[in-house]
Structure 1
Amino acid sequence: MTHVVVTGSEGFVGQVLVQRLLAQGLGGQPITRLSLMDVRFAAPPTDARVRQIEGSIADAAVRAQAYDGPVDAVFHLASIPGGAAEKNYELGRRINLDATLGLLEDLRGQAEQRHTAPAGGGSPVGDPGAPRFVFASTIAVYGEHLPPEVNEATLPNPGLSYGAHKLAGEYLVADATRKGWCQGCSLRLPGVVARPGDGAGMMSAFMSQLFWKLAAGEPITVPVTAEGVAWWISVGACVDNLLHAATVDPARLNPRRSYQMPVLRFTVGELVDALSVRYGADRQALVSYAPDPFIQRLFASYPPLHTPEALALGLKHDGDIATLIDRATST
């Protein structure tokens, strides 16, 4: 029996992850029970394996519904995005930090029931029965003042409460792993594309809207320059990495239990060029630029990123911009 819990399952990444879990299972094992958590659901489940648990993950009673039996894996995707979290600090902290701690501490009870949790902070791989816990962190942990090059030794320096809370979550995942409550791994997600809708509350929404607006032949004004450089990954490649993190041998994970997802790096103008090749040269004229200095610093001023440790673990980016467009718009 494989019981998987997904928080934020109605979100952009969550919906694609759920589809993949139901179709392909996890680590070669079919899913027999899939507990989905979100504040609301658009429609009832169509698969008998799915349970929908509606409510806030900050509510212990809601979490208890998902953890009412042994859990094999947790994908913690739920969050209040950066812009919304900055406007409402209490809500952001409650979901992005407090609820993350709650999800981990709730697994402590299951560890005690297994009677195999390491005593006094034992080996991080000392409890083979501990569930996998994959935490969706963010590149916002680096902040807006990046060095000329980012690598896996670059120290985080969050510039938003969102990034600070996500970084704290990474430490909590590593500590819960040390205590034997879970086998954790945190992945820092870059700009995942192409999110449908207007991206309310997300300052990086323009990154996804470019795909859909130009595909539909609609004009768009982006809040950065054409020369602005961003880090990109498709939702398909992102989900590949989340699933891999839940199945890789825990002994291979670094002591931090944290990895930067590999990315493609190119300018907004290069994306517009590639989308114009795909959908027609007239798309170039549909794009206008009205740079916002703050958004430019946060989302379009990214230096080269080197992730050999993540690549050696088996995490991947899309390979090239054409493949990214394919995967971003077809999932």
Structure 2
Amino acid sequence: MHVLITGANGFVGQALANYILSQGCVGESKVSRLTLLDRQFDKAVVGSSSLDLVVEQHSCDLADDQWLKDTLGRFSMDVIYHLASIPGGMAEKNDQLGRSVNIDATMALLDICKTQTESIGHKPVLVFASSIAVFGIMPDLVNDDTPLKPQMSYGAHKIVGEVMINDFSRRGWVDGRSLRLPGVLARPPAETGQLSAFLSDIIRELSLGHTFVCPMSAQAKTWASSLPNIIENLMHGAAVEESKLKATRTFTLPTLCFSMAEMVDAIGTVYQQNVKELVSYEPNPMIENLFGRFPPLETPFADEVGFKHDGDLNKLVERAVL
């Protein structure tokens, strides 16, 4: 099996690549080749696996259609994890960059899948990392029928990807699965352009006994999952049988809904210290509007095919910093 990961140097991409290298399979299929793409890499992963597995690592511009066609056309692909994206804040600041990666590169990958299917009759599985940013303004309950009203270009770009993956899957050119990821915890400190980084920072800082100024009120509610939970769902997303997907190719992943006060309590419980004294709340209206008004969530489509959340908030916090 040949597996491709775009955005392989990112927080989720690195974890996914390392998981595949450690396990050597996706579902019940053995991985023989792993291709990793990103703009740049912090370190080489080639040779880091003891398995009989060929690893290629390419620093590239995903907006370069011809390079993608030439490079990815050398070997047929079985599973593609399309994680590369320009996130919310960065996409707002640089519209052209956001569209070139979030939309154009997605279309280029879909066209490569179409060419492969038509030329050799082998349809690849494409797991697309969409986002809960597609919802934007939310009603009192979010479920599989909730209208999409994104408040940022990033969310709009993800909707375009979902729609095109559904259409290419309908036409038999790709076996697509779009997974709407929630916040993923806990990201290392870095300038990624993600406005939700404080959700990771609060766990890391409080766990170390540091003070923290929270940009949302104690009662503000959000959704999030641990990195290990997201990796488990991405692996399941590629392994689930196409016959079980029925009419939809888009799944809002099950996740936990909690207030910032509940998060602080969970951090205190897991790390066995009084962290409430370390937290002050200074709500930023824009941040709270984007990330602090999340209602309860129902995910029947995802539940039916076996996607899962962390279980409870203590487990999420425990798994978030490993």
Give the TM-score range, shorter chain.
over 0.9
The two structures have a TM-score, normalised by structure 2, of 0.95
Contact 2:46-2:57 at 8 Å conserved across structures: no
Equivalent of 2:67 in 51, 56, 62: 62
The two structures have a TM-score, normalised by structure 1, of 0.92
SS in 2 for 1:246: helix
Contact 2:9-2:38 at 8 Å conserved across structures: yes
Q: Which stretch of structure 1 is more off in the superposition, 132-141 or 238-247?
A: 238-247
User: Is 1:32–2:65 an aligned residue pair?
Assistant: no
Q: Deviations over 1:28-70 (max 9, x none)?
A: 2221110000000111224262100111111124323134211
Task: Show the 5 A alignment for 1:110-149.
Answer: 110-114=116-120, 116=121, 129-143=122-136, 145-149=137-141
What letter matches 2:65 in structure 1?
A
CA distance in 1, matches of 2:16, 2:44: 17
Q: Deviations over 1:223-276 (max 9, x none)?
A: 111111011111111111111111111111142310000011111111111111
CA distance in 2, matches of 1:279, 1:172: 44
User: Is 1:109–2:115 an aligned residue pair?
Assistant: yes
Q: 1:90 matched to which residue of 2?
A: 96
SS in 2 for 1:180: coil
Q: Deviations over 1:117-154 (max 9, x none)?
A: xxxxxxxxxxxx311000000001001x2101001111
Q: How many residue pairs end up in the alignment?
A: 315
What letter matches 1:36 in structure 2?
L
Task: Show the 5 A alignment for 1:194-213.
Answer: 194-213=186-205
Q: Deviations over 1:252-306 (max 9, x none)?
A: 1142310000011111111111111222434222211111111101111100001
Contact 1:174-1:255 at 8 Å conserved across structures: no
Contact 1:76-1:134 at 8 Å conserved across structures: yes
* Runs of 4+ off more than 3 Å: none
Contact 1:198-1:209 at 8 Å conserved across structures: no
Q: 1:252 matched to which residue of 2?
A: 244
What letter matches 1:99 in structure 2?
A
Q: Deviations over 1:175-234 (max 9, x none)?
A: 111222210000001111111114531110011111111112222212111111011111
Task: Show the 5 A alignment for 1:42-53.
Answer: 42-47=42-47, 49-53=54-58
CA distance in 2, matches of 1:87, 1:168: 19
Q: Which stretch of structure 1 is more off in the superposition, 90-99 or 248-257?
A: 248-257
User: Is 1:290–2:287 an aligned residue pair?
Assistant: no
Q: 2:179 matched to which residue of 1?
A: 187
Which ranges in structure 2 are unaligned for 5 or more consecutive residues?
A: 48-52
What letter matches 2:61 in structure 1?
S
What letter matches 1:269 in structure 2?
A
Q: Which stretch of structure 1 is more off in the superposition, 23-32 or 42-51?
A: 42-51
Contact 2:144-2:298 at 8 Å conserved across structures: yes
Q: 1:122 matched to which residue of 2?
A: none
Cα distance change of structure 1 residues 53 and 66 upon mapping to structure 2, 3 Å threshold: farther
Equivalent of 1:81 in 80, 87, 106: 87
